[in-house]
Each structure stands twice: as structure tokens, then as C-alpha cells.
A and B are shown apart, each in its own frame.
Chain A
Amino acid sequence: MNSSAPEPLVVARGLTKRFPDLTAVDHVDFAIQPGEVVGFLGPNGAGKTTTIRMVTCTSPLSDGSLLVFGLDVTSHPREIKAQIGVVPQDNNYDPDLSVIENLITYGRYYRLDPKTTESRARELLEFVQLTDKADARVEELSGGMKRRLIMARGLINQPRMLVLDEPTTGLDPQARRLIWQRIRELKYSGVTVIITTHYMDEAEQVCDRVLVIDAGKVIAQGTPAGLIAQFAGSEVLEVIPENPEQPDLLATLATCGHVQRLGDKFELFAGDCPNTLETIRSRIKLVSFGVRRATLEDVFIRLTGKELRD
């Protein structure tokens, strides 16, 4: 291993995945540094899962190159997979086994020593707060507990990199916070993390850096704060006009900045909100108005459009 400058853990160049009916990932380039928590953010069907399936060596590339730990995913899948932990989108735990058996059996797939696996499994159950469920059947666990079990399973081989595909979808706020906390702890212990999500708060909470993916392409990347500053400004002005169908409404609003319509509400990404508001109020009758802090969600909606995706 090269001990001088840290080499990126993952390097994708022109990474492409074509299916018979669509190009899911379209010439994507990115690099992930050791110790980073990187979020792949995008609407459903953007290509996030397909990308990480290539990174985790479970889906072959159609084109481009992909190195993980400096190894080619096509020629060295076993060596790479041995050092990766995966938390897939589906909770594919083994329903025929108990909670602790799920971890021990999984360790066997990595050829871990059975004794070490068992003690490691107990530590991991502690880490995800499932110690008292060790001998329970998995089916008896709540959704949040199942998710934590899958997270523990992804750590059984003490991976250098953990890949989580939508780790908190469908979970209650407490369960989500626990998972975020654990991701941060892993980061501090030196584990590199890739996470896909379409929850903006999740990306802001846990990610050092975010890649916004849409239609198989990386359309923006940066820190959550950097992206917000770049694409949404610091504040967003929300106005509800009396007559949303007023003919010159959009044109008038557009003179003040980028406008987005959500039903009868209009969002304005304007630099100077107080002044803009004065200008607007002098020309349009408003039912209500407000100023709020810009979030990653604004960036996301602005970059990927607001139409419904399936």
C-alpha cells in the first residue's frame, strides 16, 4: 500500500450501465476519498442503486472503468467484496435464522473464524442496540430493528467501506437518528461510507459531500452547505398570491430570481429577500408570505425538477 498521499478509495471514470431498455448510469465520473461520508442523492430511478451495485461488484459494468481500493471491480470482485460492507435497500435478512445466527452465518461467507465472529456479532448487536434481541426470530423485530440488524450484518467483516442503500427509508424519527449517529461514529473510526438517499435532511445530517444524480448523470456535487449556497442562496421567499392565475404573475416574479411553483405557492430563490418582498408586494396582492432558510431540498428540486418520478 502506498503510504504517502492518500489515494482515492473509489475511482469511477466514464462509468456506464446500460439495460436493454434504458441507460441507468451514463458516463459518470467520481472519486471517493478515504474517511469520507458521501451521499448519492437523486430521485427514484436516477441510477443511484445501479451505481452502488457496480461499486459493490454485484452488477457488471457496461462501459468505463471502476477501481475500488485500487483494484478493478471486474477482475478482483472477491478481494474488493471482502473489504466492503453492504446494507441493501431490501432487508434481505435470513428469516430462517435468529438475529445472532444471521450475523454468524454471514461471517462464514467471509470465512471469518467462528469464535471471533461470535464475539464480533455480540459487539455489533450492542452497537446497534439489539443485544436483548440476539436470540429472537428476525420476523419478530420492528422495521427499525430489522434495518439495524442489516447494518450490523454489513459490519461483520470490519469493512474499510460501508455502502448503505437508502438506510432509513420508512423508519420513524428515533430509528433514523440512531442510524445517523452510528454512521457518524463509523466515520470517526475511519470507515468510509457511501449512502444513497432521497431524504435531504439525511444528506445534510450525515454527508461530508453529496453527488446529485439524475437520469444516470452526476449533475452537481459538493458539500451540502456549498450546494445550498450555489444553487439556492441562503434564503427562500415563499409567497401565496391572491390570484395565482394572474397573467403577468410569473413574469413579474421571475424578474426577482428563479421561481418555482408548488400549487398556489411560489418559491423565489432571490439573493436579497426583504427588498425583493417589498418589490413584489408593490405589484402583486399576496395572501401570505414568508422567508425561510434554504435547504438541500431546494437544491434538489431546482436541479432535478419538481415533476413526480416513478
Chain B
Amino acid sequence: MRLLPDLSTRLWSVWQRNFQVFRRLFWVNFVLPMAEPILYLVALGFGLGMFVKEIGGVPYPRFIAPGLVSVAMMYASFFECTFASFVRMYYQRTFDAIIATPVNVEEVVAGEILWGATRSAINATMVFLVVVLFGLAPAWCLPLVAGIGFVCGILFGSMGMIATALVPSIDFFNYPIFLYITPMFLFSGTFFPLSALPRAVQTVSWAILPLTHIVSINRALLIGPLSTNLFWSVAWILVVGAATFLIAIRLMKRRLIK
């Protein structure tokens, strides 16, 4: 068994297929993702912010803005590579149709994950635009946010794809969502600093929750300060991202090739 997957640029034909379908529903796909961060900003940032005022000298809406951008990165690719990919794989048999052509399984899976990563970049960008409109972050960070969204999207997309390779049916996605994604949404420093939590929880959070690292990177980028600790977060994302990507391809191959 080869260690690295057999990938070629053909994987972009899979990406292109998804983009073609996505583009058609422009308003649903591009504009609607902006609604959620507005709700969070108004309800939590400005509502709850009335009482919280500021955290570490940063006004509360400004504090949660990088959190919201990070959450968009997580949700977009994770949901794309679970529910949407599962529908294409299982209900529509799209993957079976594609692997009858010179595109192989590895490229289908990689194309799906890179598409999920693209959605993370798009959604993070849309949320970031909202944040900029509210005057909570500098606009020049946009390309960086999109880039970080893409890289983090590979990680979350791969995690989603691992779930897709393992679930017996679509209902089983509730396990990773309720047991992993939702706790991550709450305990990654998105809405309050991790230092508010017990030491043990903090350790676990840094060890197994990618969102913790992403929030820390985005917060440093949008608010500052940049510190050398960020290097470890970037390294964590890259290493775990690469590992989950390879595992996702291997598990999907096992599921699809019989």
C-alpha cells in the first residue's frame, strides 16, 4: 500500500463541478452566510457586551469578531464535507459516476475537501466583511483571512470527510456535531478567554480542538498582539491538517472501493 495518495490536477475537475453548482445559488450561498454573524454581533457583541464591556482592554464586540470569523471557517467546510459530500456520495452516487472516468477516488475525495476549504474561505470572507462594516477589524486583513480560511478549511473538511467515511447513515453525523463541533464552538476562546476555564480544560482544548488555535491566530491578526506562541498554533494546524487529509483519503478509499 502506498503511503501518499495518487493525486493529479484532475482533482480540480471535482472542485469545479461543485463550484459550478454552488455559483448558481449566489444569494443563498454568498449572501446568507452574512446573516448569522450579524445576529451574533448584535445579540452577543452589543447585547451581552453592554454588561461585559471589555475583555483584557478590548471592547466585547471587537473581542468576539475574530471568534465569529473562525467559527465560519469551521462550519463551512465541516458541513460541506459531511452532509453535502454524503449526499453526493450516497444518495446521488456522484462519486461512483466520477470514478468511472480517469479521475480516481483519491482525487474525488481531495477535490471535495479542497472544495470544502474553498467554502471556508468564502464564508470567512463574508463574515469578515460584516466585521469590517461594523468597524471591528482592519479591511487589509481580508486576503489573510481568506487564506487562513482555506488552510483551516482543509483541516475541518478532512475531519468532516473522515466522519463521512465512517457513518453508517446520514443521521450519525449528529455524533461528531454534538460531541465535538458544538463543544468546540463554545470552548475554544470564541466568546470568552480560555483562561476563564479550569487548567485541565484549557489543556484539552489546546490539544484536541483546532478552533482554539484558529481563534488564537485570528485574534492575534485582527486585534494583536502577534507573539511567538502563534508559531505553535500554525504548526499544529498544518500538521493535523495534513494528517487528517491523508487519513480522510485512505478511509474514503476503503469505503468506496470494494
Contacts and interface: CB of A to CB of B under 8 A. Distances in A.
Contacts of B255: none
A111 B94 CA distance: 18
A258 interface: no
What range describes how many residues of A lie at the interface? 20 to 34
A111 B257 CA distance: 23
Which of B13, B93, B97, B257 has the most C-beta atoms of chain A within 10 angstroms of its own C-beta?
B97
Interface in B214-254: none
Given A59-B257, A59-B258, A108-B13, A94 B92 contact: yes
Given A97-B20, A111-B10, A111-B13, A77 B96 contact: no
B17 A95 contact: no
Interface residues of B, number: 20
Nearest to A163: B100
Contacts of A86: 100
Contacts of A110: 101-102
A90 B99 contact: no
Contacts of B100: 56, 58, 81, 84, 86, 88
Contact of B13 (A58, A78, A90, A109): A109
Interface string A106-132: 101111000000000000000000000
A92 B103 contact: no
Given A19-B258, A94-B97, A78 B102 contact: yes
Contacts, number: 65
Contacts of A111: 10, 13, 102
Given A78-B102, A111-B10, A105 B93 contact: no
Contacts of A190: none
Contacts of B10: 109, 111
Interface string A74-110: 0001110110101010101111110001000110111
Contacts of B104: 77-78
Nearest to B93: A92
Nearest to A110: B101
Interface of A: 19, 56, 58-60, 77-79, 81-82, 84, 86, 88, 90, 92-97, 101, 105-106, 108-111, 153, 157
Given A78-B102, A86-B100, A88-B97, 19 more contacts: A58-B99, A77-B104, A81-B102, A82-B101, A84-B100, A88-B93, A90-B93, A90-B96, A94-B17, A95-B92, A97-B20, A97-B21, A101-B20, A105-B17, A105-B20, A108-B16, A110-B101, A110-B102, A153-B97
